[in-house]
A and B are shown apart, each in its own frame.
Chain A
């Protein structure tokens, strides 16, 4: 399978100078944008993106073509495109590779999208830590402006398109689209109540499309190949189309970003792409499939779908690892595909400790507007701290579940669920371990620290 796979998103990765316009253009960049802007109507492009079943790559998996269809600007309203390059979900490190290695692919996608949705201005919001990605995009944009591809008449078309980068300054919540818009407008990154949705009232009060970096970077290939053909590259066509970037980190031999069709299995991601478990004598214990907000999977759990109507019936009785990775299949599995960047843990990892690590993250990053999120997140950490230090009781595990349940659905933005769902996932799938830790504190045989220490001390890290 991987032999015949033709890379699309990553086709220019690894080519020397791929971030420069000259090299990128020699390898195909801007060919599609030129054709799209000079020979295709916005409707034709939107139609191809719809046919492609391009599911948003930022985490929620919403179909991009449908989202674009929500735009209905009133007379005198300006439409904005805002590209989400916040990339802050723990475990996620894919968009950065596009921005650093092939910024012209993103710019080409933005040009085509702006033409299709009728936007004249696009902002690329990049988290402040990624200074190199911002510099890479700024340099690429400067080249594209000099060429006239970005500016008043892109490819001669009297449809001005201006593209600017906008730097964040350290705040995970700014990845949430309405927090991002506030941050773009020079405000604290606090999420807004929805509705109104950005497509109606977004940046500067105007209709706005917010899409992830990878989502927009897929647009040139969709237009080039045609929506149907691009969609059919997926193993889950026609509902979840194309190819995408998969990330893998943690206890594997070859962590990194890999491009593959939509719908490969977690087993393939870990053992084929990721090179298998880091230490041959330490088997897989758990894997977080798509960023820290997605509930953890365990290889020894099997799919329970005896009913023939169940979307996962074909995998009934098989390991969770063997279900194809798709937006809908993973939802049916009780988790989420999220950003499609997996974090792999071997049997040295204590699940309560892993859970606490992530809950600390959420406590630190809550914007603080909603009580269930601000207080609940803090309580989760306190209770977990108690359990791990041996001060806990078995009933505290129930308390964790209670706190998390009270966060679900009671907050302004999905950060609340993003905190509660992984907590519930850990407790559900590793209940025994939580109870054991509650009884004894962190068991002494947890080698978590020792094994990782050996890794950096001995210089084994790749």
Chain B
């Protein structure tokens, strides 16, 4: 299926292009706009972005694959990133990860059966003083305990999808 941005998001792209002296510089911001609409960077998205910014698909693909936040496959409705770097590990991040794996019924790197959550490991997310922490979509959840984490997951599960 061909990909296209909504008119509103297309205006966002126009605005972004005005920030830079050339089109290519808008590549990462434009990929973000696309991922926010589509959920992931599909081959169709790559084609569309390449045409829109007058770049080869190889260039766009090369950039997409470099950055961990661009999803090259579909992900769950919510993406949970568990920070496992040192400051978080010192404050129990391993237990946080294990608890989430048990609760969601999937290992890190996978999506829960109901398609609701994708669980991923993350490297230091610049919240070390509030460890342990996870990022869910755009939000940080900090100073976690297992009980707090349960509440957060239940809230996401309870929301209408």
- Whether the pair B123, A188 counts as a contact (CB closer than 8 A) is no
- How far is the CB of A163 from the nearest CB of chain B, in Å? 10
- Whether the pair B128, A91 counts as a contact (CB closer than 8 A) is yes
Within 8 Å CB of B28, what residues of A? 166-169, 183, 186
CB closest chain-B residue, reference A254: B129
CA distance A93 to B128 in the complex (A): 6
| Among candidates B26, B68, B92, B131, residue contacting A170 with C-beta atoms closer than 8 Å | B68
- Whether the pair A354, B25 counts as a contact (CB closer than 8 A) is no
CA distance A30 to B70 in the complex (A): 37
CA distance A128 to B69 in the complex (A): 8
Per-position contact with A for B2-41: 1 when CB-CB < 8 Å, else 0? 0000000000000000010110111111011000000000
Per-position contact with A for B115-133: 1 when CB-CB < 8 Å, else 0? 0000000111111111110
14 contacts across the A-B interface (CB closer than 8 A): A90-B85, A129-B135, A132-B138, A166-B19, A169-B31, A169-B32, A169-B67, A169-B70, A171-B68, A188-B62, A456-B95, A459-B147, A461-B145, A462-B143
Within 8 Å CB of A349, what residues of B? 90
CB closest chain-B residue, reference A188: B66
Does A435 touch B at the CB level, under 8 Å? no
Does A220 touch B at the CB level, under 8 Å? no
| Among candidates A170, A255, A343, residue contacting B67 with C-beta atoms closer than 8 Å | A170
- Whether the pair A354, B86 counts as a contact (CB closer than 8 A) is yes
- Whether the pair A90, B123 counts as a contact (CB closer than 8 A) is yes
Does A455 touch B at the CB level, under 8 Å? yes
Q: A129-B125, A186-B27 are in contact. Are A91 and B143 (CB under 8 A)?
A: no
Per-position contact with A for B58-73: 1 when CB-CB < 8 Å, else 0? 0000110011111000
- Per the 8 Å Cβ criterion, residues 246-284 of A in contact with B are 247-251, 255-257
- Per the 8 Å Cβ criterion, residues 35-88 of B in contact with A are 53, 62-63, 66-70, 81, 84-87
CA distance A449 to B93 in the complex (A): 10
| Among candidates B31, B124, B132, residue contacting A90 with C-beta atoms closer than 8 Å | B124
CB closest chain-B residue, reference A248: B129
Q: A90-B123, A129-B125, A189-B67 are in contact. Are A461 and B92 (CB under 8 A)?
A: yes
CB closest chain-A residue, reference B65: A188
Report the interface size class on chain A. Answer: 35 or more
CB closest chain-B residue, reference A251: B90
- Whether the pair B87, A452 counts as a contact (CB closer than 8 A) is no
Interface of A toward B, CB cutoff 8 Å: 87-93, 95-96, 127-132, 162, 164, 166-172, 183-190, 204, 247-251, 255-257, 288, 292, 341, 343, 345, 349, 354, 357-358, 361, 364-365, 449, 452-453, 455-462
- Whether the pair A87, B126 counts as a contact (CB closer than 8 A) is yes
Does B89 touch A at the CB level, under 8 Å? yes
CB closest chain-B residue, reference A80: B21
- How far is the CB of A307 from the nearest CB of chain B, in Å? 35
CA distance A139 to B63 in the complex (A): 28
Within 8 Å CB of B139, what residues of A? 132
- Whether the pair A171, B66 counts as a contact (CB closer than 8 A) is yes
- Whether the pair B145, A91 counts as a contact (CB closer than 8 A) is no
| Among candidates B22, B92, B125, residue contacting A453 with C-beta atoms closer than 8 Å | B92
- Whether the pair A250, B87 counts as a contact (CB closer than 8 A) is yes
CA distance A255 to B140 in the complex (A): 17
CA distance A92 to B123 in the complex (A): 12
Does B96 touch A at the CB level, under 8 Å? yes
Does B91 touch A at the CB level, under 8 Å? yes
- How far is the CB of B74 from the nearest CB of chain A, in Å? 18
- Whether the pair A456, B129 counts as a contact (CB closer than 8 A) is no
- How far is the CB of B13 from the nearest CB of chain A, in Å? 13
Known: A88-B126, A453-B92. 12 other contacts (CB 8 A): A93-B127, A129-B125, A132-B138, A132-B139, A168-B67, A169-B68, A170-B69, A247-B128, A357-B85, A361-B86, A452-B90, A452-B94
| Among candidates B69, B87, B140, B148, residue contacting A132 with C-beta atoms closer than 8 Å | B140
- How far is the CB of B66 from the nearest CB of chain A, in Å? 4
CA distance A95 to B70 in the complex (A): 24
| Among candidates B69, B127, B145, residue contacting A169 with C-beta atoms closer than 8 Å | B69
